[in-house]
């Protein structure tokens, strides 16, 4: 207790990190029996907020609240695909992620269900088209910097999440919803109502070059989906991660053929998973990223799309191939212009010339000419952040 108000007893370093004021009193809360309590723990009083309720950063760190220099956190220049935190706390067959381990991870709540997503710049989150193609904008909320979705208090979260409404949803114009096969071009963008504030738990992912080939490499998937195959079990409240090897198309087709599954695999798709199925993405992970550590930074290789079951042997997950979609020769999607190494991210507060229309109606109404959609789609992501040019 401090000034007749109750505050939590918190690990002293964590209180300092989040900008709190350290006061004694935790030993009294424990009956005075623990003489070390006031050394290790503190009565953490939140720093006084201004009238505008602006969150103040930890000591020795400088942050520009009005976004004019939003690419800087402290004295560190922000680069895509490079986490800034290494806090360790304490997906099926996976493990709990660390707080801030995947700062580009988005948790998307859509009325009564959830999907994953990935932050690609200050205004856009990418996800699976099948997650949101029928959703109303008012029902979609994007959480960035999230870790414990239920705020149980069992895990220390040194920085708060950022909550964003969505003002625009953009479905890939070639998206095809299919019942018995994986959806084609299962990719969509969500335009946020305001630019995100980059900080250690909210950072963008790197986008691949169209020439990048990740076959044979190990990817990482993360999400808040189901963590076992129990019928009816809901997703986890703690972000989970799992490593999955990226398969060749031939191997993926052979695995499914071995299980008597007729899989139609197209060039904008790829498969990733273990032959014994011990780690896999599952229901609720759709739309989340599959990332690969490539040339010193994490790069977006795929968007979680589909799978014939979860964590079943020889039935790997199926992902949308981002490098294929970013090719102007294969698709109207052009994610971003190449940027030099150490380029600053978040280059625009808005995309100039971006067309708008009501997005509570289908994103690609049947009376819209295909060539018009192609031109629109090309301009939407020209301010993303590519992996630095080799």
Is residue 226 a contact partner of residue 234, using CB atoms and an 8 Å limit? yes
Residue 286 annotated in active site: yes
- Residue 203 class from Cβ within 10 Å (0-12 exposed, 13-18 middle, 19+ buried)? buried
CA–CA gap between residue 229 and residue 16 (Å, rounded): 41
* Number of neighbours of residue 324 by Cβ within 10 angstroms: 20
Catalytic residue among 186, 280, 285, 324: 186
The answer for residues whose C-beta is within 8 angstroms of residue 215's C-beta and 6 or more apart is 246, 247, 248, 270
Cα distances (Å, whole numbers) of residue 190 to 122, 258, 312, 345: 11, 38, 32, 18
Could you tell me which of 5, 33, 35 has the C-alpha nearest to residue 21? 5
Dist CA 265 CA 272 (whole Å) = 13
Of 107, 130, 133, 294, which is the active-site residue?
Answer: 130
**Range list of H helices, the chain:** 12-17, 26-29, 37-40, 129-132, 249-258, 322-325, 370-380
Of the residues 286, 305, 326, 331, only one is catalytic, namely 286
Question: Has 7 been annotated as catalytic?
Answer: no
CA 380 to CA 187: how far, in whole Å?
A: 13
Instruction: Based on the residue annotation, tell me whether 186 is a catalytic residue of this protein.
Output: yes
Q: Measuring CA to CA, which residue among 139, 172, 292, 150 is closest to residue 224? A: 150
Q: How far is CA 364 from the centre of its chain?
A: 25
Burial profile 290-323: b = 16 or more Cβ within 10 angstroms, e = fewer: bbbebeebbbbbbbbbbbbebbbebbbbbbbbbb
Active-site positions read 130, 186, 286
């Amino acid at each position: 207790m401090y000034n007749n108000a109750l505050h939590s007893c918190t690990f002293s370093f964590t209180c300092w990190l989040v900008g709190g004021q350290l006061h004694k009193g935790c030993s009294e809360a424990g009956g005075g029996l623990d003489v070390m309590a006031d050394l290790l723990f503190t009565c953490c009083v939140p720093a006084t907020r201004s009238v505008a309720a602006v969150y103040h950063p930890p000591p020795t760190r400088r942050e520009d609240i009005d976004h004019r220099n939003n690419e800087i956190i402290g004295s560190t220049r922000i680069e895509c695909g490079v986490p800034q935190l290494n806090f360790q706390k304490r997906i099926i067959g996976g493990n709990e992620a660390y707080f801030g381990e995947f700062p580009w991870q988005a948790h998307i709540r859509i009325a009564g269900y959830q999907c994953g997503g990935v932050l690609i710049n200050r205004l856009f989150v990418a996800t699976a088209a099948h997650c949101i193609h029928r959703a109303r904008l008012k029902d979609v909320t994007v959480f960035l910097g999230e870790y414990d979705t239920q705020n149980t208090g069992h895990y220390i979260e040194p920085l708060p999440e950022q909550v964003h409404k969505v003002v625009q949803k953009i479905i890939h114009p070639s998206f095809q919803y299919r019942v018995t096969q994986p959806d084609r071009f299962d990719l969509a963008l969500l335009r946020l109502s305001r630019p995100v504030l980059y900080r250690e738990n909210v950072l963008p992912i790197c986008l691949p070059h169209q020439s990048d080939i990740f076959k044979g490499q190990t990817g990482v998937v993360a999400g808040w989906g189901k963590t076992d195959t129990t019928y009816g079990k809901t997703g986890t409240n703690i972000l989970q991660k799992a490593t999955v090897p990226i398969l060749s198309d031939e191997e993926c087709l052979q695995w499914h053929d071995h299980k008597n599954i007729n899989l139609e695999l197209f060039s904008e798709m790829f498969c990733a998973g273990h032959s014994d199925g011990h780690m896999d993405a599952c229901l609720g992970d759709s739309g989340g990223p599959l990332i690969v550590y490539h040339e010193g930074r994490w790069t977006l290789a795929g968007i979680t799309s589909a799978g014939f079951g979860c964590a079943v042997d020889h039935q790997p997950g199926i992902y949308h191939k981002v490098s294929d979609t970013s090719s102007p020769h294969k698709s109207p999607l052009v994610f971003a212009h190449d940027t030099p190494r150490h380029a600053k991210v978040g280059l625009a507060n808005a995309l100039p010339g971006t067309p708008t229309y009501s997005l509570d109606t289908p994103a690609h109404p049947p009376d819209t000419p295909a060539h018009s959609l192609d031109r629109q789609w090309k301009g939407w992501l020209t301010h993303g952040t590519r992996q630095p040019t080799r």
